[in-house]
Amino acid sequence: MPGLIIVQILISLVLIALILLQAKGGGLGTAFGGQSAVYHTKKGIERLVFYLTIVLAVILTILALINLKL
């Protein structure tokens, strides 16, 4: 189904953008297992972006599995 593939592409592009938004403040040291000296809780828009990333990743996975079955 070409429509399903287009939806997957759009979701993946939004997912990439959301992941890049979350990468602010994280240097290469933290990306490869290093620990940051500052710990904080997610608030407001940061929390929304975090949960939206999880939801879109789950939706993308489900769509990919559906695409395999078709």
The predicted structure's pLDDT at residue 26 = 53
Q: pLDDT, tens digit, for every residue of 47-66?
A: 899 999 999 999 999 999 99
Task: State the burial class of residue 28 (Cβ atoms within 10 Å of its Cβ: 0-12, 13-18, 19+).
Answer: exposed
Q: What is the DSSP string of 8-34?
A: HHHHHHHHHHHHHHHTTT--HHHHTT-
Q: What is the mean pLDDT of the chain?
A: 82
Nearest Cα neighbor of 60 from 39, 52, 41 is 52
> Residue range 23-27: average pLDDT?
60
Res. 67: pLDDT tops 80? yes
Predicted structure pTM score? 0.73
DSSP type of residue 64 = H
More confident residue, 63 or 36: 63
What is the SS3 assignment for 1? coil
